[in-house]
């Protein structure tokens, strides 16, 4: 704590590269996801210690489930296991995604689309599960309140997730891939070439050191 002058309040995480990592280790693609759970917990604990207030993990999307069934099952399981691990670690948890589909893991239904405090509920943690950017935005067209009829952002499915200050992406791709289009508008995006299962706390510190040097203008 106090190590950084500027600390992002909300960090988004795109944990990409599980399949490439597995293949590099001589395993099958679907084996990679299981090795992504530990890194997720490690990063959460490092952020908690620093005083980060909110984190959002990009679990899997409605597009991802078009992949071979072995892979789909593997990342579904990795999400369930990750959420269960976060429950043990004082997360104030929101699982967000389209539950109107069999691909949404039923084990996560109790935590879907509402916030649940575990333990001391030390940090808001959002986990996107069977999420889709168009599903998220189209939600604004469905249920219109007085507020949401003039401000689109008040009606999206992810309206309870705050603006992300920084997005960390592993696996070298320099893009957002549909990760919360509204909350990522002003986010600083930091990309690691390392694959997600190879996460080290040094990565977080590298990104935070960079973050000290950049300014925040929110479009001004």
Q: Which of 52, 86, 96, 140 binds its own copies (CB under 8 A)?
A: 140
Site map (CB under 8 A) of its own copies, residues 75-114, x = contact = ----------------------------------------
Compare residues 47 and 140 and give the one whose CB is closer to its own copies.
Answer: 140
Report if residue 152 touches its own copies, rule: CB under 8 A.
yes
Give 173's Cβ-side CA count (13 Å radius): 11
The CB-of-180 to its own copies minimum distance in angstroms stands at 10
Whole-number Å distance between alpha carbons of 48 and 44: 6
Residues near 133 by beta carbon (within 8 Å), at least 6 away in sequence? 61, 178, 179, 180, 181
Report if residue 214 touches its own copies, rule: CB under 8 A.
yes
Question: Which residues in 177-196 contact its own copies (CB under 8 A)?
Answer: 177-178, 181-182, 184-191
The CB-of-208 to its own copies minimum distance in angstroms stands at 14
Compare residues 26 and 220 and give the one whose CB is closer to its own copies.
Answer: 220
The CB-of-124 to its own copies minimum distance in angstroms stands at 22
Compare residues 93 and 161 and give the one whose CB is closer to its own copies.
Answer: 161
- The answer to whether the CB of 80 falls within 8 A of the CB of 147 is no
Whole-number Å distance between alpha carbons of 204 and 155: 33
DSSP letter for 112, please: B
Report if residue 158 touches its own copies, rule: CB under 8 A.
no
Helical segments of 7-93, H only? 18-24, 37-50, 69-87
The CB-of-4 to its own copies minimum distance in angstroms stands at 17
Whole-number Å distance between alpha carbons of 24 and 27: 7
Q: How many residues does the chain have?
A: 220
Whole-number Å distance between alpha carbons of 134 and 156: 10
H or E segment at 210? helix 201-213
Report if residue 24 touches its own copies, rule: CB under 8 A.
no
Report if residue 137 touches its own copies, rule: CB under 8 A.
yes
Q: 10: helix, coil or strand?
A: strand
Report if residue 138 touches its own copies, rule: CB under 8 A.
yes
Q: Which residues bind to its own copies, rule: CB under 8 A?
A: 61, 63-64, 66-67, 133-134, 137-138, 140-141, 144, 148-153, 172-178, 181-182, 184-191, 214, 217-220
């Amino acid at each position: 704590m106090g190590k950084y002058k500027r600390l992002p309040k909300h960090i988004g995480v795109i944990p990409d590269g599980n399949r490439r990592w597995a293949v590099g280790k001589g395993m099958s693609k679907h084996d990679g996801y299981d090795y992504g759970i530990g890194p997720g917990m490690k990063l959460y604990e490092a952020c908690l210690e620093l005083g980060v207030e909110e984190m959002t993990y990009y679990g899997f999307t409605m597009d991802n489930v078009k992949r071979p069934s072995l892979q789909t099952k593997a990342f579904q399981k990795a999400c369930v296991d990750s959420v269960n691990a976060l429950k043990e670690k004082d997360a104030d948890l929101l699982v967000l995604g389209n539950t109107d589909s069999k691909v949404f893991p039923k084990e996560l239904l109790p935590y879907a689309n509402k916030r649940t405090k575990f333990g001391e509920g030390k940090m808001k943690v959002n986990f996107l599960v069977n999420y889709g950017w168009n599903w998220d935005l189209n939600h604004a067209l469905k249920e219109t309140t007085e507020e949401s009829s003039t401000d689109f952002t008040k009606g999206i499915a992810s309206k309870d997730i705050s603006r992300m200050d920084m997005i960390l992406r592993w696996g070298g791709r320099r893009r957002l891939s549909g990760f919360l289009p509204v909350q990522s508008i002003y986010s600083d995006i930091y990309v690691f070439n390392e694959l997600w299962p190879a996460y080290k706390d040094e990565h977080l510190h590298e990104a935070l050191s960079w973050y000290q040097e950049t300014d925040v203008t929110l479009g001004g």
